Amino acid sequence: MDITDRTLRELLKDVAAGNLSVEAALARYRADKSEAVGDFAVLDMDREARTGFPEVIFGQGKTDDQIVAIFKRLRAKNRCVMASRVAPEVYERIRASLPEAEYDAAARILFTRDETKTLYPGITVVTAGTADLPVAAEAALTAELIGNRVRRITDVGISGIHRLFNRLDEIRASRVVIVAAGMEGALASVIGGLVSCPVIALPTSVGYGASFNGLAALLAMLNSCANGVAVVNIDNGYGAGCLAAKINAIGRNADDAR
């Protein structure tokens, strides 16, 4: 039973005992679900209870002070806090204010871990080229913070497809595979035709002019003829990591039920 359930039970007991009115209990219950930070944010404090993972801070476009204030408020109630799209120069300016936080420069994620989580295997993140690594790193670290042990396989794009075949046994052992690729995005279709598990195609904005900042890869992945390939938005490593974690949890729960 999580903290939210215990709080609700206590409120109901107080109402039943006549120590608290229905209106007061409802106001307290609603207050526990959201929390204002200054005049710039209202945090969803109930998100972990609903979805299994706390609200994530999207760092891009926020000021240094806003990131720090939101991070500290979330940290007060959550072991794991994650801020995505935090540029290295931003981290250098705010690191002294958040000494408990780690920073992954490749993924551009500022975070604290929940060390009590058991990490479950099943997710593999595959990159077509070295230039796709930042987006792939965001996907991998997101899935890890949610509670997964992630295998990372890099630089196995189709221009040297033998490199992919050398790692195929590892990829086939996965419950779900994330494929990060730019240029023409063909690697997702190739892997989709070689594995039995779901494939999450993650288009990146890597490529020359006619790649249109990832649009060519996105459209190619959406038009994949391989079965079982789903597509997230361009450079959306966070979304791919979250989806992979949910798919992996379904597979894990099914195994536990057997």
Q: Which amino acid is at 115?
A: E
pLDDT digits (tens, 9 = 90+) for 156-170: 999 999 999 999 999
- pTM for this prediction: 0.85
Angle at 241 between CA 240 and CA 247, to 5 degrees: 90
pLDDT of residue 198 exceeding 80, the answer is: yes
Q: Which helix (H) or strand (E) holds 224?
A: none
Amino acid at 80: C
Q: Which domains does the chain carry?
A: 36-117 (no CATH), 120-257 (3.40.50.1970)
Q: What 3-state class would DSSP assign to 39?
A: coil
Contact 232, 240 (CB under 8 A): yes
List phi, psi (to 5°) of 149.
Answer: -95, 120
Greatest CA span in the chain, whole angstroms?
72
For 31-83, write each residue's pLDDT tens digit: 667 777 888 888 887 788 788 888 899 999 999 999 999 999 999 888 999 99
Question: How big is the chain by its Cα radius of gyration, in Å?
Answer: 21
Among residues 256, 128, 105, the alpha carbon closest in space to that of 186 is found at 128
Residue 188, classed as helix, strand or coil, is: helix
Residues of the chain with pLDDT > 70, as a percent, come to 92
Q: State the pLDDT at residue 3.
A: 44
